Structure 1
Amino acid sequence: MLKPHLKLIEDIKSEERTFSSLSKFELEEMYKISIASGDFTALRMLTNHNTGIYNYNEREPSWLDSEFWAPIWTLMLTSKPKTIRWDSVFLNDGKKLTDPKHIKLLNAFKYWITATDNPLENGGNIEFSKKTIYIKVTYIIKLINAILLHSKELQLAEYHLLHVDDSFWLSIFSNMATYDPFEGVYRFKDRIKALIDKEATTISDEECVNFVAKYPLLLSKLPTDDLSIYPENRQKSCVWLFKQGYYKSYKGKPKYDGNSAVLTRLILNGKCLFEDINTPNFVEFHLKQKKTSTEYIPINNHDSSIGMNAQSLGQYISYLKLIHTNLDRNDSCTPSMITDTLTINSINNIKGVHLKKTMRTRTQPPSLIFNLIEKCFQFTQENQDELLNQCLTALKEGRSKLGKSNSNKLKPQATFKAFDEAIHSDMSGSERGHWFDTEAINCVTSKWKKKGIKQVAAFDIKTPNRHQRIRNNESLFELFQALEGSVQFLVGAIMARRQDELSSLKPYGNLIPNKNPFSIDDEDYFIKKGKDGSVKAQYNLKFKLKKSGYKGKNTHLIRPIPVSIAKLIWRLEEFNQETEKAGLTTGKLSLFNSLESKACNLSAANTHSFNNNYDAMCDYFETDLVLMDSGEYRRNYIRQHQLRRFFALVFFWSKKKESFDALRWMLGHTDMEHLYHYISESETGAVLNSAKASVLASSVLNKDISDVDAKQLDKLRELLVKRLAGNERAEVIINTLSNTIDDYHESDYETTPHISVIEKNQIMENEVLRLLDNEVISLEPNFFIVTTPNGSTESTFNLTLTFNEIN
């Protein structure tokens, strides 16, 4: 019979005892016995229990659907398998990466990729989601390609990873920070320009003339915003690309905006792992105008400044260090150690390198947002109930008709004698289509017919004057989309949440309390003050907090919402319940949905349909047009990420008359100091600083629109002139600041701004944001009590701009 302490070890080794069942004393005994006996089996089991390092096979991760030694890998990390063709790469000696001479270099790359979820390399037993592993693999492949594309300089065939040291990565990361991660590694624009300019010389003038005659778009002037490559001869470049199959899809069909995969292959084939590289689509090479469902081409609403932010750079550095998995391996080459001197700060301190802020979008002019709020609220207040009721009636009736082709019994087949060309040629072949054309209008009340309704169905995208007819209220289902976009906008503007947080709202049951908001008093209140001085929301909205939780399971967050918006949500939820009861849905609905006109059903909003609702709203209310330098007009189409900082902007612009009128119904009699405390607690410092930067940028460009002290603004202008010196893109702004020219005055809001004005505002806003983030300046409200003309008191404030440090 074994002694008790030896039996403990044997019970653990035979798994008759679990580690969770051991007491503290038994764990200490196990440790002492293992050390004394030299048998570390139990300790190894304990280590594996907590870390999983002995269970992980770095040559057989669960997501690798290939042999480790295979020349082609298939990774099962997304719904579409990812392929890595190791055998497609040639090194500077002309031999393939898979050549026996380079097997250790190849293995080093492979181990680097499998290290992405190796517990030994990631701090223990961490179960990463496949999505996270996919992102890490994508980053590492980009870093591998950075090495492969410098094969000649690194003498990769002769020395493998010996020359891939800190200085190499400093050079790569500084390029990524200067341009962006894609351009910094691939220098794709430079490569394609060199290739295109060279090959365009092989195209004759006659070929070019004949080609342009077929595709006259090549004669048009393009807005500077659309240019990336600047080819010496755009027309001849497109002729050469045509000959290379650039304008064919993988199925051989015409693709007039170009096939990026073809361009990637032309530039990178044989030089690196180019599979699945998402090459940009270049407008310079389009043969035909891209079709759009919107009235105008959208203006680019992303910050056009180039570079990379600190967070992204930190991820690249972290994933780079996974290359250390190859240290002390016999079957792979040994990499140089990545030292602790390779940091975000060391890269940012390189002359000419300025890490940008996390990807920002152009801030929409506050007047545009406030005007839209007023229009959307008025539209929904006047039309939501009746519009939803009539849509429901039409959907039920339309769904009762057959939608299949040849289901219209009133239309004989073309081969029958009863077929009359004059009568039947344009008649819909489906029963539902014929009903739309003839009887559906009977679902519309006389009141709405007077408003302009002439048909129930949505217009075909090719319908002449389609958008003007929608604004004339001629289509019931088109108005439904404008309504959905309006409610989305109102909820999105006040809640300032991510788009996926709004699109994932349930079809009903989103409000807390879940009761009819039409039945309560004080409907204009957003938050109310209790007798004990506490501040409480009348209504809250419950949503999933994205980028939280574990493996896709998000935590929930509750945020206050004005009663006026709660009413809009409640009415939409009632409509969703009715459509579900009537069987008019495809799958599970969300709060905001897409109406399929021909099918007479609703489906949950996805990213595309959510944005389509916004587009419909913007076209219906005719948001601002912007004049491009080509003479073309484009439209400001709202996106949810542009509204993320709007709630904070609400406060800083709330003293302006045009702001306050639009906010009265939204915020009611809310005390402004209470509101600011709520905003400060609810929003991150980044969101608050972004809102402050927007206000200050507008103020320094127009001294008449701000409550900030004029002398302080002048001081800020002087500081910005110094900081922007040397920035080529900011040259015009410096002149503007030096002469205090007011180019974008609020009173000029109704005019159409030039694209250069918008770009100038964005550069200015980014620079002010740097000052705020670096605490060189601060902008804070100074609250005080005033007596109103009617004798009551209210809280108001001034904005105080402070200079903390000027370097």
Structure 2
Amino acid sequence: MSQKGALSFLAELARDPAEKLRQVWWLLTDFEAQVWSVSIGYKTARTVDWRVELEDGSLLTQPKNSELLKGFKYFLASSTETCNMRSRRVRAAIPSQQMDFTIALRVIDKLLVNSHIYELGKYGLEGITENHLMHILETYAMTNSSADSIYEFTDRATKYCLNLARDTPAHIIEAVIDKHPSISEVSTSVLELSKYGFQIEEIPSIRAALFHHGFYHGNKAGGYHAGTSALARAIYPNTLNKRIGRARIHILSFFPGEPAYRRELESVVVRSSTPERVTVGRYTKFRAALFSLGMLRGLGVAAPPQSALSSIEHYHVETRRIQRFRLVPFDVIMDQLTKTIEFHFLHGRSILNSYCSLARHCIKAEVSLAQLTNQQVITIIDPKLVDMGVRQLGLISLNERNYGSLIPQKGDKKDFYDRLRSNHGFLELLAIYIGSVEFVIGLLMARRLTELTELPLLGCLDKTLEWLIFDVAKSSKGLWGARDRQARPIDQLGRRMIRELQRFQRYLMKIGYIEEYGQLFSTPDLRGKMKLSPSSIFTYLRNLDLAFDYFESPTNSIGQRYYIRQHQLRRFFALLFFYIFDGQRINGIRWHLGHADAAHVWHYITEVVDGVSLRGAKSQYILERMLKDKDKAYRNLADYIQQTYDISDVLLADDDEVDTYIQEQMALGNITIEPEFFNDEQGMKMKIIVIIKKQGE
């Protein structure tokens, strides 16, 4: 390398910080443009339109507001860089930069939404006071919904809808309701869960008014739903972010036919019930972003007074702990594990081969899957599947279907799941198989959900086929924030499942059915289109839910089904270690965990399982032992919990409540749960030890 090249970084350090920000890497347009095009790893570029109106009626882009506009632009540009312009830091991973950008956007929008309070058009950022900043932080912490903490969406949407219904002529309201009578049908159960301040008698008029003014999307089969993005555009003409609120306002949805469904039963609550206030992590990030408005002063741009910013640097408000994923009984997960593994060995190859046969037939006959009759389908697929009950391409496939009726695409819920478990739909069986593989790989590898959905088909296994290779979520290294890539040993069962999915796509590529390989868990389209749907959180969870309904995952005491999630499987991965190595169920399964040295395996688990999941696994194991052995196991811990939380009997309390108590004390350091390894004449053994810290120690 030449001396000039070797020292080129010095020129970079000497560059004016403002100049750097004007050329931030994700900005696709000129810094001075009134509408920015930005792409921070997005599939399609997004726009930031600075032409918003302030409280005095002027546009932010008018010359009188040039200093304010410049401040907002530099602030947003700096969000993915560093607030200290003299320092050099490794750029964060793309998802982290996306989050930093979003938080900065929300800070700006919080100021714009309340421009009439801060009088931005008159005073700019210099008019922001200490009380303003504290009030911003207080309102941000009141709820974990940014739609409400930043945009007050619930209140503003309620008022907007009521005013729209009031201002829409009565004859128009009546005409819409006459044409769509189901608008008047209001579910009391949905109303009880709604945050919006609508009275039950007001809802039909509100729906009719919104429908008339074009705020709905949908159809007769799937129902009509209020578009929050359209509402946001109407309610917030002066914000940069237009993606506000949830996808649907459920109390405003109406269904000419049966309401759409994705699961057979109501789900057991996945997360623990905690106050709705924001978590301390999210609050800290938002406060840091708000405080970083002070960096504008170093760029020679007007900013809030330093005294006001200093007042919030360490400003604390009431927050809540991170939501904890609720425990799933050990036996529930073991039951599903057994069923998914059996499904793989009994039917996996037959199902994959049958789809390959259908694909080959379509390529040779130059027809699409949707053009095949159900009779043709059952003559092409493996006869074993026909014997199992397969009668049609899919339960919601496009072939042999009539549209335009009031019947939802899936039909009656009971009938759909009866046909699902009777194996009538071939494509659903394929999705169930992929969901089974997702479940087993997710449990064996204990990785985050995003890491699993993004696994590529090729390259996820090393050359020896003994290691799973993945990009680690929430990590980065290098100047451009590339995700850290790691490898973890994978069991022979998981390896075989992955090889089956690889063989499946290789064949489809060979015959020209697909043009490129997808992700490992890409799934054939359930409607029968000639494609593989990319692996996403939606398709990944849909496959799992179909599998849980197909195998009839157990329910709790009130009839809610366990639709297990990856965070819960990460806990189970560690929980499995305790059950295997403490002498409990040692012969239940024989994976690589059961054949290795216990101390080495424990070290491995502490490396791959996050602290929250590990703490949860320890707590759940101890709790299950206490409940199983009644007063014999961990009596001292039971007494401690009863005294600390003033409950009469741990064994009579709610399981999740006691689990929360134990984890709280572990987080505080008052309880320690660790395995203790020792050797006897039979080799290495292990016991789980609970240490209770006494007061004053």
* TM > 0.5 fold call: yes
1:106 to 1:663, Cα distance in 2 relative to 1, 3 A: same
- TM alignment of 1:519-534, pairs within 5 A: none
Alignment partners' CA distance in 1, 2:688 and 2:181: 62
Alignment partners' CA distance in 2, 1:627 and 1:203: 47
1:437 to 1:447, Cα distance in 2 relative to 1, 3 A: closer
| 2:88 counterpart of 1:106 | no
1:163 to 1:491, Cα distance in 2 relative to 1, 3 A: same
Alignment partners' CA distance in 1, 2:13 and 2:606: 41
Give the deviation of 1:371 after TM superposition: 1.1
Contact 1:579 1:585 in 2 (8 A): yes
Per-residue CA deviation, residues 136-165 of structure 1 (Å, 9 max, x unaligned), is: 332122112323344454454554334534
Give the deviation of 1:330 after TM superposition: 6.3
Alignment partners' CA distance in 2, 1:771 and 1:374: 34
- TM alignment of 1:301-340, pairs within 5 A: 301-303=270-272, 305=274, 306-327=276-297, 332=302, 335-337=305-307
Alignment partners' CA distance in 1, 2:517 and 2:631: 47
| 2:217 counterpart of 1:262 | no
Other structure's SS at 1:800 match: strand
Give the deviation of 1:559 after TM superposition: 1.6
| 2:359 counterpart of 1:449 | no
Per-residue CA deviation, residues 51-88 of structure 1 (Å, 9 max, x unaligned), is: 64469354565655666556554445544443444443
| 2:532 counterpart of 1:565 | no
1:315 to 1:338, Cα distance in 2 relative to 1, 3 A: farther
- Give the letter for the 1:439 counterpart: Q
1:784 to 1:107, Cα distance in 2 relative to 1, 3 A: same
| 2:697 counterpart of 1:803 | no
Structure 1 counterpart of 2:472: 545
| 2:220 counterpart of 1:295 | no
- TM alignment of 1:572-651, pairs within 5 A: 572-596=501-525, 598-599=528-529, 602=532, 604-625=534-555, 635-651=561-577
Alignment partners' CA distance in 1, 2:356 and 2:218: 43
- Give the letter for the 2:422 counterpart: N
Give the deviation of 1:641 after TM superposition: 3.5
Q: Which has the larger radius of gyration?
A: 1
- Give the letter for the 2:195 counterpart: I
Contact 2:570 2:609 in 1 (8 A): no
Give the deviation of 1:647 after TM superposition: 0.9
Other structure's SS at 1:89 match: coil
Give the deviation of 1:200 after TM superposition: 6.8
Alignment partners' CA distance in 2, 1:163 and 1:279: 33
Alignment partners' CA distance in 1, 2:212 and 2:652: 47
Contact 1:708 1:800 in 2 (8 A): no
Alignment partners' CA distance in 2, 1:621 and 1:63: 46
Alignment partners' CA distance in 1, 2:438 and 2:241: 40
Contact 1:776 1:806 in 2 (8 A): no
TM-score by length of 2: 0.81
Contact 1:203 1:240 in 2 (8 A): no
| 2:608 counterpart of 1:714 | no
Structure 2 counterpart of 1:498: 448
- Give the letter for the 2:76 counterpart: I
Name the stretch that deviates more: 586-595 or 166-175. Answer: 166-175
Aligned-residue identity in percent:
21
- Give the letter for the 2:453 counterpart: S
Alignment partners' CA distance in 1, 2:492 and 2:387: 31
Contact 1:708 1:798 in 2 (8 A): no
Alignment partners' CA distance in 1, 2:442 and 2:75: 42
Alignment partners' CA distance in 1, 2:230 and 2:455: 40
Alignment partners' CA distance in 2, 1:176 and 1:696: 37
Contact 1:441 1:455 in 2 (8 A): yes
Contact 2:232 2:243 in 1 (8 A): no
Q: Which runs of 5+ in 2 are unaligned?
A: 398-408
- Give the letter for the 1:692 counterpart: K
| 2:97 counterpart of 1:116 | no
Per-residue CA deviation, residues 436-481 of structure 1 (Å, 9 max, x unaligned), is: 4333323345544333333455653535623322312234433222
Structure 2 counterpart of 1:364: 328
Name the stretch that deviates more: 563-572 or 152-161. Answer: 152-161
Contact 1:258 1:286 in 2 (8 A): yes
Other structure's SS at 2:474 match: strand
1:698 to 1:48, Cα distance in 2 relative to 1, 3 A: farther
Alignment partners' CA distance in 1, 2:483 and 2:35: 36
Alignment partners' CA distance in 1, 2:218 and 2:334: 48
- TM alignment of 1:38-437, pairs within 5 A: 47-50=10-13, 52-53=15-16, 56=19, 58-59=21-22, 61=24, 63-64=26-27, 72-77=35-40, 78-91=42-55, 93=56, 95-98=58-61, 101-116=64-79, 121=85, 123-124=87-88, 134-180=98-144, 182=146, 183-193=148-158, 211=177, 214-215=181-182, 218-222=185-189, 227-245=193-211, 248=214, 256-270=224-238, 272-279=239-246, 281-288=248-255, 291-296=260-265, 301-303=270-272, 305=274, 306-327=276-297, 332=302, 335-337=305-307, 342-343=312-313, 346-347=315-316, 350=317, 353-357=318-322, 360-403=324-367, 435-437=372-374
Alignment partners' CA distance in 2, 1:509 and 1:68: 39
- Give the letter for the 1:490 counterpart: V
- Give the letter for the 1:222 counterpart: S
Contact 2:38 2:45 in 1 (8 A): yes
Alignment partners' CA distance in 1, 2:471 and 2:300: 48
Alignment partners' CA distance in 2, 1:86 and 1:610: 37
Contact 2:103 2:286 in 1 (8 A): yes
Alignment partners' CA distance in 2, 1:666 and 1:741: 34
CA RMSD of aligned residues (A): 4.3
Give the deviation of 1:278 after TM superposition: 4.1
Per-residue CA deviation, residues 178-224 of structure 1 (Å, 9 max, x unaligned), is: 42261333333344445556777789999689949812674322268
- TM alignment of 1:681-700, pairs within 5 A: 681-695=607-621
Give the deviation of 1:657 after TM superposition: 9.9
Contact 2:28 2:37 in 1 (8 A): yes
Alignment partners' CA distance in 2, 1:671 and 1:679: 12
Contact 1:189 1:229 in 2 (8 A): yes
1:388 to 1:668, Cα distance in 2 relative to 1, 3 A: farther
- Give the letter for the 1:462 counterpart: K
Other structure's SS at 1:779 match: strand
Structure 2 counterpart of 1:410: none
Alignment partners' CA distance in 2, 1:106 and 1:661: 68
Give the deviation of 1:769 after TM superposition: 3.2
Contact 1:257 1:285 in 2 (8 A): yes
- Give the letter for the 2:376 counterpart: E
Structure 2 counterpart of 1:477: 427
1:506 to 1:187, Cα distance in 2 relative to 1, 3 A: closer
Aligned residues: 671
Give the deviation of 1:588 after TM superposition: 1.0
Alignment partners' CA distance in 1, 2:236 and 2:508: 52
| 2:415 counterpart of 1:462 | no
Give the deviation of 1:716 after TM superposition: 1.5
Structure 2 counterpart of 1:536: none
